[in-house]
Amino acid sequence: MAWKDLSMMRCLLIGGVILIAGLTTASLALAQSEGKDDLLDRQRRLLEVQAQKVEADVRSALREATNLGPTDPALAVQKLRALQSKLEDDTALTAKRKETLLRVIKDRIRVAESAERADEKTEKPEKRRPPENGKAADKDEIQQSLETIKALRKDGKMEEANRSANELLRKYPDSPAAQMAARTAAAAETLTNVRGIRNDQNKRLSSLSRDIDRSATPTDGDVEFPKDFKERTKNRGRGNPLTSKEKAILKALDTPITVSFKDSRFQDIIDYLSTLINQPILLDNAALEEAKITYETPVTVKVKGVTVRTLLRKILGDFGLAYMIKEQTIQVTSALKARETMITRSYHIGDIVDTGGLDSIRFGNPGIQAATIVQNVNAIIDLIQTSVDPDSWKKNGGQGTIVFHPGTMSLVIRNSAEVHSMLSGGLLH
């Protein structure tokens, strides 16, 4: 009996040792697996950081080459080729993203080289000596053009006079008379525009002079704000706050740019702009198909000192397309769909148009307060329509509208999400 007990104990002991060994092996395997997972996770994060750095370097190099393009296309090509070589050796980016960036860079090299060749031809123009019998004809044509320009200026048609003078200068760039006519016409048109602006300002100042006089007249006692002034000011700017992403998109679209594209693929231009401003631009394939646009469609455009917003509208507008800011992204779609997705929002402006009743008390006439409010509202509406995307408003040929609702002391505005983002982020915030 004792021998059996001893054998049983020995078996139990051996089984326990085997169990412990198995658990130890499993623990080691699990630890090794977790270690591998941690290592892979760290490697992925490292690659993401490296990819972000590469993207930033590409954006910086593209901006530098873009700035050099108009003045030194040869140096721009050199910078772009260095960027291409660096990108080809990169291992951090995904294959698809690397292919996209290389395609964009190659297109920029092609356009810059074309500009470089054009500059070389300009630097070495072919010297041609005009025939003697042509000089008299040129002189007569110049004189006739000068008389036409003079007559246009006399009739007050400054814009036409300036246009004719510029055409004359393009045809005869070496003519002192054409050069003087162009400078004189441009100065006359500028002076006319300045006078027009000044007259408009004088009219507005005259309409507000009574309010200015009243505000400059001291009261007999202390000035008291209306009892509900704090409550009214609290209502403005809280209804439509911008997200950080929306603010970043608006800031990116305001980026100034000087760039030239010549028969560049539509897709390459969109990818270039997206990379440059570091914001994704989504394409509506159905809208592209309806407009008969493909990724391969050639685009030629040249701009100087405009915003990315203006350039994007120019490119898309030529194909009947438009973009809108929706769901915190830039989305390219048809112009019709962009108009149909306009948003209506109200903005409380009671605190900046209502005088709080002080004028009616001072003058004993409540009608004065109402007239002041109407005048202030009209001034605010005019300011919005002339400073916030002017072309989008109905009075300027767009679709946007503004209506004042006196019951709530609010502006009811119908326009694109982008315009509402501008208003919420600045003027009416």
Contact 375, 383 (CB under 8 A): no
The DSSP line for 239-306 is: SSPPPHHHHHHHHHHT-EEEEEEEEEEHHHHHHHHHHHHT--EEE-HHHHHHTT--TT-EEEEEEEEE
Closest residue by Cα to residue 82 from 115, 60, 100, 49? 60
CA distance 395 to 401: 8
CA distance 403 to 249: 27
Q: For residue 223, what pLDDT is reported?
A: 47
Burial annotation 271-305 (CB, 10 A radius, 16+ → b, else e): bbbbbbbebebebbeebbeebebeeeeebeeebee
Burial annotation 383-413 (CB, 10 A radius, 16+ → b, else e): ebbeebbeebbeeeebebebebeeeebbbeb
Whole-angstrom CA distances from 225 to 39, 217, 356, 357, 409 are 65, 16, 7, 9, 18
Q: For residue 107, what pLDDT is reported?
A: 92
Q: What DSSP element (H or E) covers 117? A: helix 95-123
Whole-angstrom CA distances from 232 to 226, 344, 426 are 10, 22, 19
Whole-angstrom CA distances from 350 to 236, 342, 381 are 8, 25, 14
Q: For residue 114, what pLDDT is reported?
A: 85
Closest residue by Cα to residue 77 from 45, 46, 115, 103? 115
The DSSP line for 36-97 is: HHHHHHHHHHHHHHHHHHHHHHHHHHHHHHHHHTTT-HHHHHHHHHHHHHHHHT--SS-HHH
CA distance 99 to 101: 6
CA trace torsion 354, 360, 365, 370 (10° rounding): 0
Q: For residue 208, what pLDDT is reported?
A: 47
Contact 395, 380 (CB under 8 A): no
Chain mean position to CA 79: 26
Q: For residue 21, what pLDDT is reported?
A: 61
Q: For residue 273, what pLDDT is reported?
A: 94
Q: What is the pLDDT along the chain (429 residues), one digit of tens a residue?
A: 455 555 666 666 566 656 566 666 666 665 565 555 677 777 777 778 888 888 888 888 888 888 887 888 888 888 888 888 888 888 888 889 889 999 999 999 998 888 877 766 655 554 454 555 556 667 777 778 778 877 877 777 777 777 777 777 777 777 777 777 766 766 666 666 556 555 655 555 555 444 444 444 444 555 455 555 566 555 555 555 667 888 889 889 989 999 999 999 999 999 999 999 999 999 999 999 988 899 999 999 999 989 998 899 899 989 989 888 888 889 999 888 877 777 888 888 877 776 544 344 334 445 556 777 888 888 888 888 888 888 888 888 888 899 988 888 888 888 887 787 777 655 565
CA distance 314 to 282: 17
Contact 418, 327 (CB under 8 A): no
Beta pairing, strands 329-334 & 281-283: parallel
- Other residues' Cβ atoms within 10 Å of the Cβ of residue 178: 22
Q: For residue 217, what pLDDT is reported?
A: 47
Q: For residue 234, what pLDDT is reported?
A: 58
Q: For residue 264, what pLDDT is reported?
A: 93
- Other residues' Cβ atoms within 10 Å of the Cβ of residue 8: 10
CA distance 354 to 407: 12
- Kindly state the tokens that stand for 190: 């500028």
Closest residue by Cα to residue 58 from 84, 76, 78? 84
CA distance 38 to 246: 35
In a 3-state reduction of DSSP, which class is residue 23? Answer: helix
Whole-angstrom CA distances from 274 to 61, 179, 267, 418, 422 are 14, 42, 10, 17, 20
Q: For residue 299, what pLDDT is reported?
A: 93
